[in-house]
């Protein structure tokens, strides 16, 4: 199995992603945004950061990077693709996942640990996770508020495409646990084909025991298992 982490100008979590997957003993390569070759990677990661300085809209410029032609083709062939934070924003701009990411309701950048409750039972990323567990995962974003129109929101829920919801430490999905004002506490969604995953929190920042939290490793291990299945 080979994993490719795309690097855009302004990416700042690319090395975090590389390190996290290398902790799982996987081969990882960095893919430059101007490249046209995915180097035979089975799984592509769009990492967090501030691609192209977040000019225009978060992810809006990166969506048109040369490598995105190959990334989109990879996803359309059924290949696995995951976007984390800014990567999720890029997926939304490319319409690879439903919805958009808007400015946090607080109008402030938020950087802290939050809790997530896995939801989808049909998406490979979450199907093997414990739905009764609240996973402690860091967030770091100013534009993480998930939004979709009523029809899209209904479709995402009816199709079991909600990957995670923000919850409290006991796993309760509450308004108080909704850190950024996302509709229905949604923290991540997948596409209808269930091979493209987007989430705002950073599992790669909670994968190393040296950091005192390995809940993110459980999510990444599930992702790797899904790709290998």
Residue 85 catalytic?
yes
CA–CA dist 162, 158 (Å, integer): 9
Q: Within 13 Å, how many C-alpha atoms sit on residue 32's CB side? A: 2
C-alpha R_g of the chain: 16
Domains along the chain with CATH numbers: 2-228 (3.40.50.880)
CA–CA dist 195, 129 (Å, integer): 17
Contact 23, 29 (CB under 8 A): no
Q: Is the pLDDT of residue 141 over 80?
A: yes
Confidence of residue 221 (pLDDT cuts 50, 70, 90): very high
Residue 115 catalytic?
no
Confidence of residue 226 (pLDDT cuts 50, 70, 90): confident
Of 33, 74, 115, 202, the catalytic one is 202
Q: What is the pTM of this model?
A: 0.96
What is the structure's pLDDT at 229?
Answer: 66
Of 85, 167, 179, 190, the catalytic one is 85
pLDDT in tens, 48-91: 999 999 887 899 999 999 999 999 999 999 999 999 999 999 99
Angle at 29 between CA 27 and CA 32, to 5 degrees: 165
Residue 167 catalytic?
no
């Amino acid at each position: 199995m080979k994993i490719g982490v795309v690097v855009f100008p302004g990416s700042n979590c690319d090395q975090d992603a590389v390190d996290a997957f290398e902790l799982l003993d996987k081969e990882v390569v960095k893919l430059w945004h101007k490249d046209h070759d995915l180097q035979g990677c089975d799984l592509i990661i769009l990492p967090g950061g501030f691609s192209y300085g977040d000019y225009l809209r978060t992810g809006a410029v990166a969506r048109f990077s040369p490598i995105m032609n190959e990334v989109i083709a990879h996803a359309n062939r059924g290949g696995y693709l995951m976007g984390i934070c800014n990567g999720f924003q890029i997926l939304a701009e490319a319409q690879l996942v439903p919805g958009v990411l808007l400015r946090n309701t607080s109008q402030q950048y938020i950087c802290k640990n939050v809790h997530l409750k896995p939801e989808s039972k049909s998406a490979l990323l979450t199907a093997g996770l414990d739905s009764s567990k609240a996973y402690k995962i860091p967030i770091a974003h100013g534009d993480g508020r998930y939004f979709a129109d009523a029809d899209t929101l209904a479709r995402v829920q009816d199709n079991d495409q909600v990957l995670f919801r923000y919850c409290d430490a006991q796993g309760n999905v509450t308004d108080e646990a909704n850190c950024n004002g996302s509709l229905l506490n949604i923290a991540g969604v997948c596409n209808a084909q269930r091979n493209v995953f987007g989430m705002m929190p950073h599992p790669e920042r909670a994968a190393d025991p040296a950091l005192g939290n390995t809940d993110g490793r459980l999510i990444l291990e599930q992702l790797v298992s899904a790709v290998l299945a």
